[in-house]
């Protein structure tokens, strides 16, 4: 039997998550990258739709489906549908969009909307109901993006890092630098703190540069303990890859933090990304969440 996904150039993408978490923004990014995006299909229609898109005579090359809380009100559990799709060779990459409750409340208030599950209760109650409903699918998602501290441009970069050069049958690693003063990312699988290294911010001639610039990179990576730390981390990560594969985890996010996200975390992320990028079995993308922030 011919694998139906062979007519698509990449696995289908299922965009889901919390209302107000950035589902529409994620859909626009994938549309700009050439995906055909369908919105709010009931779960039971997902199988038929993706099989149609995967047919040899389909004009669709890449496809994504957005399913939010409104479509989940139809009968048919999403995890069961994913299991059916996997049996047909059409298991999609699940992208779960999330944000902190206070951020979601602020976003709903700013557009003067009620939450789909709010009913006669408060906005907080509606959000908590949705979070309970989506907990299982978030736990089983391939990629979780927390948009709490992301601008629209940051979000685009994060999604492009995951899907931009994605190859099938390989593991995909995102190395993300960040500043602790802006909040640690909640969607990281591994998090390391490089604030043990001297801060270039306190070196006047380096302050205006960033970790992607040679003067800062050379300074950070040349500090005592820096190379040993990176060697140990890369060796540790190598020892984890087979376990991740066995558990079916194909998307891994490594977060590297310093104080502001300008210097140390950027330089170390670039070096970790460079070393991991030498491995043929994984795709590596490096992004810098806070490099432009004050």
pLDDT in tens, 221-268: 999 999 999 999 999 999 999 898 887 788 899 999 999 999 999 999
Do residues 123 and 41 lie in contact, with contact meaning Cβ atoms separated by under 8 Å?
no
Structurally, what CATH architecture does the domain formed by 13-163 represent? 3-Layer(aba) Sandwich (3.40)
Whole-prediction pTM: 0.70
Q: Which residues are annotated as a binding site?
A: 68-71
pLDDT in tens, 95-149: 999 999 999 999 998 888 888 888 888 899 999 999 998 888 898 898 999 998 8
pLDDT, position 81: 86
What are the strands, taking DSSP E only, across 92-224?
A: 93-98, 143-146, 171-179, 190-193
Q: Which residues are annotated as a binding site for GTP?
A: 68-71
Ranges of each domain in the chain: 13-163, 171-288
pLDDT in tens, 22-64: 999 999 989 988 899 999 887 778 888 999 998 888 888 889 9
Long-range Cβ pairs for the range 219-228 (8 Å, 24+): 220/263, 220/264, 220/267, 220/268, 221/267, 221/268, 221/271, 223/197, 223/198, 225/196, 225/197, 226/197, 226/268
Is residue 286 over pLDDT 60?
yes
Cα distance between residue 145 and residue 262, in whole Å? 21
């Amino acid at each position: 039997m011919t694998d139906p996904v062979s007519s698509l150039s990449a696995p289908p993408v299922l965009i889901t998550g919390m209302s107000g978490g950035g589902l529409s923004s994620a859909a626009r990014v994938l549309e700009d990258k050439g995906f055909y995006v369908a919105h709010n299909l009931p779960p039971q229609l997902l199988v038929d739709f993706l099989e149609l898109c995967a047919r040899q005579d389909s004009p669709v090359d890449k496809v994504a489906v957005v399913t939010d809380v409104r479509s989940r009100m139809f009968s048919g559990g999403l995890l069961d549908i994913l299991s059916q799709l996997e049996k047909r060779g059409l298991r999609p990459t699940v992208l779960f969009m999330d944000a902190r409750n206070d951020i979601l409340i602020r976003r709903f208030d700013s557009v003067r909307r009620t939450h789909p599950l709010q009913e006669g209760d408060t906005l907080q109650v509606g959000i908590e109901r949705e979070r309970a409903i989506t907990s299982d699918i978030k736990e089983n998602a391939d990629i979780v993006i927390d948009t709490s501290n992301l601008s629209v441009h940051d979000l685009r970069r994060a999604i492009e890092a995951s899907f931009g050069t994605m190859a099938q049958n390989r593991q995909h690693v995102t190395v993300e630098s960040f500043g602790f003063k802006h909040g640690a990312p909640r969607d990281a699988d591994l998090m390391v703190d490089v604030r043990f290294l001297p801060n270039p911010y306190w070196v006047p001639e380096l302050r205006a540069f960033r970790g992607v610039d040679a003067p800062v990179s050379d300074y950070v990576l040349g500090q005592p303990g820096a190379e040993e730390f990176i060697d140990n981390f890369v060796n540790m990560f190598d020892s984890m890859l087979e376990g991740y594969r066995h558990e079916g985890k194909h998307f891994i996010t490594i977060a590297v933090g310093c104080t502001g996200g300008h210097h140390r975390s950027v330089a170390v992320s670039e070096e970790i990304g460079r070393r991991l990028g030498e491995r043929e079995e994984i795709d590596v993308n490096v992004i810098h969440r806070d490099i432009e922030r004050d």
